[in-house]
């Protein structure tokens, strides 16, 4: 099989708002090859989260989607996600089965009132017909794989007893337990301290090598991209600026925006030319693009704001 | 260069849990001192007690004002008011730190009104001059904060902090909520304002790359203690403490050839601090 | 998008409010009701105490454009009612007498009244022949032959205003006590908190009854009115005080409030310039949602005969007449004030919902 696990072709997404349409994605095309980590990098409003939400069909009803998202799972027929009906039985198989997701905030992804072990086992029971004992055993193995020690004690603990880094490990275990062929990580380390971030990055990379799946890694940090990804897609304002292998893009960036991003990293060697780019590139950007996006995003912001 | 701030043996506990444990340091005028540490290291508590938003349990914070040295914690609110002009703060969240119901003009004018500076006309001119300094359009004055992007709002926050012509500016994670390219612009702006106005910065951050680029000296905090301090290049190139080494090893380099190999936390003797 | 960014906070709130169709309709209904109540002397054809001996317990009269022969008249009219006594049941029964029609005249002279106690007038929005021969009761009449429509409008003045005045008083108490509790903290805070808990744990109805019973019967209607309002607000402020206190505590930690403190703003300035404006919208919402409770409270008290008493006309007083099943069977139009109460309460609740959503114009504008 030579084709990629996921290929996105001419994907455009528009949101209807009270003051007209907002173009969130504009003819985005890229591939996620098998057995590799592909990073999507961009600043807020670049459309990277909209892309990942479109793959899982998590966009709100106000979104108008055109283009194709083709998933080529191993041992199954190819699937065009954009044309799939919401009630199609393959949707259930897609979400959490073939594709699963790790979010930025590990605390909100875990239920505070259930034990860790039960939550991970729950994911097994949702997708496969096994006994609770088998599910629990699998959960314990998976938690061991994500680097938790003394697992038999920890599966009986609650999320609040865990540190942020440990919680994110549990979330990763939940995402991986059904052996998804594609794991989407949406800024999984942004909320974490730098030392914890490093541990999680090393973990995601080693698990990918071990499980031979593909990872789509959304981030805004080129340092993270360099350390984790095999391939990278640079996005800006809903468009793909540049894509290619990490080495090729970061060592020899072709697009001025990529060069600008690299120059913006603190401590990067800057010449006066890149400073000029800095002035050209960002403040004029349509920064509001992130505003009316996914309901989940809005909901989170509303929650943050109202108390 | 003389010192502008000295902190001696500052301690603060919350419900018997020491959060800041006997911290001492000094800041020299017109330099930037970075304070780094992870969440829970006590850096926010430390900064808030310098600003007298929190009362420390013990220790002193002495500030060298235009009228000489003063112990900040022995001053009454009335005596503190003139010092508020000299010590200002730039916040982390550019959304939460501006009152959404005030125009930029009103936000920037308020400090001047409180301190009784100028009349309506001269205040307007000062606001316009300040906006120019932070590279915002003069027409920004009549708009509300929600009309601006994150980076622009942070510029407004900087303008508010600087309009009283302070000498010491505390930046509490002031660039960590911003996109990396906007971050670079704001750091450039802060640096040029420092050289123009002779400002002293106390720069709290968790991103070591930013600290390395922006600060002259650095204070590494871990669990309420200062584990290492000194000139940035010295500390970063030749870290003495295990925790500093751990922090440095965790920075992801944008060069794919420099492999990320974080030190194992368990292998370090961090409990001894 | 860029257009949205230029708007002031007030405009933004209005934009969001306008999207709420039900709330817009509710606002319209309330405006009409309050206008009717404000100008009830002019809007109603009769005064509330005026009796029509020829129409006792008369049913609502139909306003017609077509006469019995099917001919169209531009000027609407009503037919005279003919009273017959049913020989079997001795009940009064009314039938339309199609030979006598009373055309409706607009801005006609009628019963003189004193408008807001300012000047004498005798113009009414509509009326039938002013010489006294005709009559119009399109909501029917009560057992004394008084026009229900006029009485509902006069009642609206009392019932609707008691809601607003009561909530005003509630707001005053709630914001003052809640604000001080949140700001001062310590002893005062504890005292207010305990008081709130005690007041909230007492069942309201018996307490209202006890206090109302204590109002001297000799008080004039206007004094009683204020007495009842004060009783209602005395127990209404607790919820609001809690909310205000909670928001004060939360807002003290907001970055922009700390920022104001750091530039040297004193307490008064921080409270009035930064904290209060940030939750006026929430206070308005809470107040809107509290008005129906006030109206219902007044209605309940008056219905039980311990609130306002005749000759004061309020919706609760009017409903007192509808306390037995006989009324429901024989003269169901006496329940019309109840329909007005239902409409008002629903309208206030819908309006409150719309305001709550519009209250925070920034909730969807934050970017990240």
Mean of the pLDDT values across residues A248-259? Answer: 92
pLDDT, position C39: 87
Say if the Cβ atoms of B99 and C6 lie within 8 Å. Answer: no
Mean of the pLDDT values across residues B218-226? Answer: 92
Report the CATH number at residue A249: 3.40.50.300
Q: What is the 3-state secondary structure (H, E, C) of chain A?
A: CCCCCEEEEEEEEEEEECCEEEEEEEEEEEEECCCCEEEEECCCCCCHHHHHHHHCCCCCCCEEEEEEEEECCCCCCCEEHHHCCCCCHHHHHHECCCEEEECCCHHHHCCCCCCHHHHHHHHHHHHCCCCHHHHHHHHHHHHHHCCCCCHHHHCCCCHHHCCHHHHHHHHHHHHHCCCCCEEEEECCCCCCCHHHHHHHHHHHHHHHHHHCCEEEEEECCHHHHHHHCCEEEEEECCEEEEEEEHHHHHHCCCCHHHHHHHHHCCCCCCCHHHHHHHHHHCCCCCHHHHCCCCHHHHHHHHHHHHC
Judge if C274 and C352 occupy the same domain: yes
- Final residue belonging to a domain, choices C90, C113, C146: C146
Say if the Cβ atoms of A288 and C250 lie within 8 Å. Answer: no
Q: How many domains does chain A have?
A: 2
pTM exceeding 0.80: no
Judge if C314 and C287 occupy the same domain: yes
Q: In sequence order, which ranges of chain B are alpha helices (DSSP H)? A: 43-50, 77-84, 104-114, 120-133, 150-162, 180-197, 208-214, 232-237, 242-249
Judge if A291 and A225 occupy the same domain: no
Say if the Cβ atoms of C366 and A291 lie within 8 Å. Answer: yes
Judge if C246 and C172 occupy the same domain: yes
pLDDT, position C228: 80
Say if the Cβ atoms of A292 and C364 lie within 8 Å. Answer: yes
Q: In the structure, what pLDDT confidence band is assigned to residue A271 with cuts at 50, 70 and 90?
A: very low
pLDDT at position A307 over 50: no
Judge if C123 and C249 occupy the same domain: no
Residue C249 backbone phi and psi in degrees, to 5: -65, -45
Judge if A228 and A298 occupy the same domain: no
pLDDT, position B161: 93
CA distance C338 to C341: 5
Please tell me whether the peptide bond between C165 and the residue prior to it is cis, using omega within 30 degrees of 0. Answer: no
Judge if C189 and C320 occupy the same domain: yes
Q: In the structure, what pLDDT confidence band is assigned to residue A276 with cuts at 50, 70 and 90?
A: very low
Judge if A217 and A295 occupy the same domain: no
pLDDT at position A125 over 50: yes
A vs B, Cβ pairs < 8 A, gives 115
Residue that is written with structure tokens 């430390």 in the block: B46
A vs C, Cβ pairs < 8 A, gives 42
Report the gap between the CA of A174 and the closest CA in chain B (Å). Answer: 24
In a domain, A266, yes or no: no
Report the CATH number at residue C351: 1.10.3720.10
Judge if A178 and A297 occupy the same domain: no
Judge if C359 and C265 occupy the same domain: yes
In a domain, A111, yes or no: yes
Judge if A234 and A300 occupy the same domain: no
Q: What does the pLDDT profile of chain C (368 residues) look like in tens digits?
A: 344 456 677 777 787 788 888 889 999 999 999 999 888 888 888 888 888 878 888 888 888 888 878 888 888 888 888 888 888 877 778 888 888 888 888 888 777 888 777 788 888 888 876 666 778 888 888 888 888 888 999 889 888 888 888 888 888 888 888 888 887 778 888 998 898 888 888 887 787 778 777 888 778 777 887 888 888 788 778 888 888 888 888 888 888 888 888 888 888 888 888 888 877 777 888 888 888 888 888 888 888 877 777 778 888 888 888 777 777 778 888 888 889 999 999 999 999 888 877 776 554 443 32
Report the gap between the CA of B217 and the closest CA in chain C (Å). Answer: 25
CA distance A47 to C139: 62
In a domain, A239, yes or no: yes
Strands B3-14, B17-28: pairing is antiparallel
Judge if A287 and A200 occupy the same domain: no
Say if the Cβ atoms of B252 and A281 lie within 8 Å. Answer: no
pLDDT, position A302: 32
pLDDT, position C306: 76
Say if the Cβ atoms of C1 and A306 lie within 8 Å. Answer: no
Judge if C102 and C215 occupy the same domain: no
In a domain, A213, yes or no: yes
CA distance C155 to C312: 8
C-beta atoms surrounding B100 within 10 Å: 20
Of C15, C250, C366, nearest to A301 by CB-CB distance is C366
Q: In the structure, what pLDDT confidence band is assigned to residue B154 with cuts at 50, 70 and 90?
A: very high
Residue intervals in chain B for CATH 3.40.50.300? 3-86+166-267
Judge if A86 and A185 occupy the same domain: yes
Mean of the pLDDT values across residues B17-29? Answer: 91
Judge if C357 and C329 occupy the same domain: yes
Rg (CA), chain A: 20
Q: Are A35 and A213 contacting, i.e. CB atoms less than 8 angstroms apart?
A: yes
pLDDT, position B170: 94
pLDDT, position B149: 85
pLDDT, position B220: 94
Q: Residue A9 pairs with which residues in a beta bridge?
A: A68
The CATH-assigned architecture of domain B3-86+166-267 is: 3-Layer(aba) Sandwich (3.40)
pLDDT at position A41 over 90: yes
- Final residue belonging to a domain, choices C105, C120, C146: C146
Judge if A168 and A250 occupy the same domain: yes
Confirm or reject contact between B115 and chain C (CB < 8 A): yes
Nearest C-alpha in B relative to C269? B114
Q: In the structure, what pLDDT confidence band is assigned to residue A294 with cuts at 50, 70 and 90?
A: very low
Mean of the pLDDT values across residues A140-166? Answer: 89
Say if the Cβ atoms of C19 and A18 lie within 8 Å. Answer: yes
CA distance A46 to A2: 30
Say if the Cβ atoms of C367 and A287 lie within 8 Å. Answer: yes
Q: In the structure, what pLDDT confidence band is assigned to residue A110 with cuts at 50, 70 and 90?
A: confident
Of C1, C5, C250, nearest to A307 by CB-CB distance is C250
pLDDT, position A296: 33
Mean pLDDT of chain B: 89
Q: Which of the listed ranges A30-34, A278-282, C145-149, C304-308 does the model predict with the highest average pLDDT?
A: A30-34
Judge if C7 and C67 occupy the same domain: no
- What range defines the domain where residue C319 resides? 2-38+153-367
Residue B37 backbone phi and psi in degrees, to 5: 170, 160
pLDDT at position A299 over 50: no
pLDDT at position B163 over 90: yes
Q: How many domains does chain C have?
A: 2
pLDDT, position B126: 93
Which one of C2, C4, C356 would you mutate to disrupt binding with A, by most A Cβ within 10 Å of its Cβ? C4
In a domain, A66, yes or no: yes
- What range defines the domain where residue A178 resides? 6-115+159-255
CA distance B265 to B271: 11
Neighbours of chain C (3+ CB pairs under 8 A): A, B
Q: C126 vs C62, C76, C135, C138, CA distance in Å?
A: 15, 11, 11, 12
Q: Residue B26 pairs with which residues in a beta bridge?
A: B6
In a domain, A267, yes or no: no
- With the C-alpha atoms ordered C267, C269, C275, C279, is the resulting torsion angle positive or negative? positive
Say if the Cβ atoms of C367 and A44 lie within 8 Å. Answer: yes
Q: Which residues of A touch C5 (CB under 8 A)?
A: 288
Judge if C260 and C212 occupy the same domain: yes
pLDDT, position A69: 93
Of B101, B114, B160, nearest to C278 by CB-CB distance is B101
pLDDT, position A283: 39
pLDDT, position A240: 94
Q: Which residues of A touch B206 (CB under 8 A)?
A: 193-194
Q: Are C76 and C65 contacting, i.e. CB atoms less than 8 angstroms apart?
A: yes
Report the gap between the CA of B199 and the closest CA in chain C (Å). Answer: 17
In a domain, A198, yes or no: yes
- Final residue belonging to a domain, choices C96, C114, C146: C146
Say if the Cβ atoms of A288 and C5 lie within 8 Å. Answer: yes
Judge if A196 and A292 occupy the same domain: no
Judge if C225 and C340 occupy the same domain: yes
Of A164, A250, A283, nearest to B254 by CB-CB distance is A250
- ipTM of the modeled complex: 0.84
The residues on C that touch A, with CB distances below 8 Å, are: 1, 3-5, 15, 19, 250, 360, 362-368
Judge if C138 and C162 occupy the same domain: no
pLDDT, position C278: 78
In a domain, A100, yes or no: yes
Instruction: Identify which of C100, C164, C166 has the alpha carbon closest to the alpha carbon of residue C134.
Output: C100
């Amino acid at each position: 099989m030579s084709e990629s696990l996921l290929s996105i072709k001419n994907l455009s997404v528009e949101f209807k708002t009270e003051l007209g349409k907002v173009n969130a994605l504009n003819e985005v095309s890229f591939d996620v090859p098998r057995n590799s980590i592909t990073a999507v990098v961009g600043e807020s409003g670049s459309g990277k989260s909209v892309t990942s939400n479109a793959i899982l069909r998590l966009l709100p009803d106000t979104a108008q989607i055109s283009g194709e998202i083709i998933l080529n799972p191993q041992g199954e027929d190819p699937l065009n996600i954009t044309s799939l009906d919401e009630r199609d039985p393959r949707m259930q198989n897609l979400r959490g089965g073939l594709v699963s997701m790790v979010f930025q905030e590990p605390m909100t992804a875990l239920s505070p009132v259930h034990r860790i072990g039960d939550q991970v086992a729950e994911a097994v029971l949702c997708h496969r017909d096994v006994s609770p004992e088998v599910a629990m055993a699998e959960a314990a193995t998976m938690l061991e794989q994500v680097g938790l020690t003394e697992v038999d004690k920890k599966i009986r603990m609650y999320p609040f007893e865990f540190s942020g880094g440990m919680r994110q490990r549990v979330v990763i275990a939940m995402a991986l337990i059904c052996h998804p062929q594609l794991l989407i990580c949406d800024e999984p380390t942004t909320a974490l301290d730098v030392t914890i971030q490093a541990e999680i990055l090393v973990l995601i990379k080693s698990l990918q090598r071990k499980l031979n799946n593909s990872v789509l890694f959304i981030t805004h940090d080129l340092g993270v991209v360099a350390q984790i990804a095999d391939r990278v897609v640079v996005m800006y304002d809903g468009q793909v600026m540049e894509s290619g292998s990490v080495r090729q893009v970061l060592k020899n960036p072709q697009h001025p925006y990529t060069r600008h991003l690299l120059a913006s990293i603190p401590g990067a060697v800057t010449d006066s030319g890149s400073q000029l780019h800095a002035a050209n590139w960002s403040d004029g950007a349509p920064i509001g693009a992130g505003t009316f996006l996914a309901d989940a995003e809005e909901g989170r912001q509303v929650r943050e704001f109202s108390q | 260069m003389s010192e502008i701030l000295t902190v001696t043996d500052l301690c603060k506990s919350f419900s018997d849990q020491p959060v800041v444990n006997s911290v001492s340091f000094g800041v020299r005028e017109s330099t930037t001192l970075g304070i780094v540490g992870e969440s829970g290291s006590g850096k926010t508590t430390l900064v808030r007690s310098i600003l007298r938003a929190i009362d420390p349990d013990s220790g002193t914070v002495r500030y060298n004002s235009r009228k000489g040295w003063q112990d900040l914690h022995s001053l009454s609110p009335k005596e503190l008011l003139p010092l508020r002009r000299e010590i200002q703060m730039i916040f982390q969240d550019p959304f939460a730190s501006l009152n959404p119901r005030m125009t930029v003009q009103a936000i920037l004018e308020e400090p001047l009104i409180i301190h009784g500076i100028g009349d309506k006309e001269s205040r307007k001119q000062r606001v316009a001059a300040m906006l120019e300094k932070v590279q915002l359009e003069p027409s920004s004055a009549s708009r509300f904060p929600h009309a601006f992007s994150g980076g622009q709002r942070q510029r407004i926050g900087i303008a508010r902090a600087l309009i009283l012509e302070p000498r010491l500016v505390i930046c509490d994670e002031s660039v960590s909520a911003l996109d990396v390219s906007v971050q670079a612009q704001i750091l450039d702006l802060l640096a040029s304002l420092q050289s123009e106005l002779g400002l002293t910065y106390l720069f709290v951050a968790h991103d070591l790359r930013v600290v390395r680029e922006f600060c002259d000296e650095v204070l590494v905090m871990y669990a309420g203690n200062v584990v290492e301090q000194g000139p940035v290049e010295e500390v970063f190139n030749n870290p003495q403490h295990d925790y500093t080494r751990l922090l440095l090893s965790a920075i992801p380099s944008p060069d794919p050839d420099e492999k990320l190999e974080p030190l194992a936390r368990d292998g370090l003797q961090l409990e001894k601090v | 998008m860029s257009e949205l960014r230029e708007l002031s906070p007030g405009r933004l709130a209005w934009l969001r409010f306008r999207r709420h169709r039900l709330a817009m309709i509710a606002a319209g209904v309330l405006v009409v009701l309050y206008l009717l109540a404000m100008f009830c002397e002019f809007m109603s054809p009769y005064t509330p105490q005026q009796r029509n001996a020829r129409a006792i317990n008369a049913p609502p009269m139909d306003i017609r454009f077509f006469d019995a022969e099917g001919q169209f008249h531009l000027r609407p009219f009503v037919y005279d009612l003919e009273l017959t006594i049913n020989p079997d049941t001795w009940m009064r029964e009314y039938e339309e007498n199609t030979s006598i029609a009373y055309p409706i005249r607009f801005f006609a002279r009628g019963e003189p009244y004193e408008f807001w106690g300012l000047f004498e007038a005798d113009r009414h929005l509509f009326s039938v022949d002013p010489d006294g021969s005709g009559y119009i009761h399109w909501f029917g009449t009560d057992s004394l032959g008084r026009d229900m429509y006029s009485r509902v409008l006069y009642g609206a003045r009392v019932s609707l205003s008691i809601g607003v005045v009561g909530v005003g008083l509630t707001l005053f108490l709630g914001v003052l006590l809640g604000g001080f509790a949140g700001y001062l903290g310590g002893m005062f805070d504890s005292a207010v908190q305990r008081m709130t808990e005690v007041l909230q744990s007492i069942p309201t109805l018996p307490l209202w009854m006890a206090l109302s019973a204590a109002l001297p019967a000799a008080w004039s209607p206007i004094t009683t009115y204020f007495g009842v309002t004060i009783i209602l607000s005395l127990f209404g402020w607790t919820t609001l005080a809690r909310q205000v206190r909670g928001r004060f505590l939360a807002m003290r930690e907001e970055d922009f409030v700390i920022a104001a403190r750091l530039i040297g703003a004193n307490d008064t300035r921080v409270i009035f310039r930064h904290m209060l404006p940030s939750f006026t919208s929430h206070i308005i919402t809470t107040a809107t949602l509290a008005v129906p409770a006030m109206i219902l409270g007044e209605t309940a008290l008056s219905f039980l005969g311990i609130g306002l008493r005749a000759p004061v006309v309020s919706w609760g007083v009017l409903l007192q007449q509808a306390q037995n099943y006989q009324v429901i069977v024989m003269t169901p139009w006496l329940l019309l004030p109840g329909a007005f109460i239902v409409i008002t309460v629903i309208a206030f609740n819908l309006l409150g919902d719309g305001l709550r959503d519009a209250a925070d114009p920034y909730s969807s504008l934050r970017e990240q």
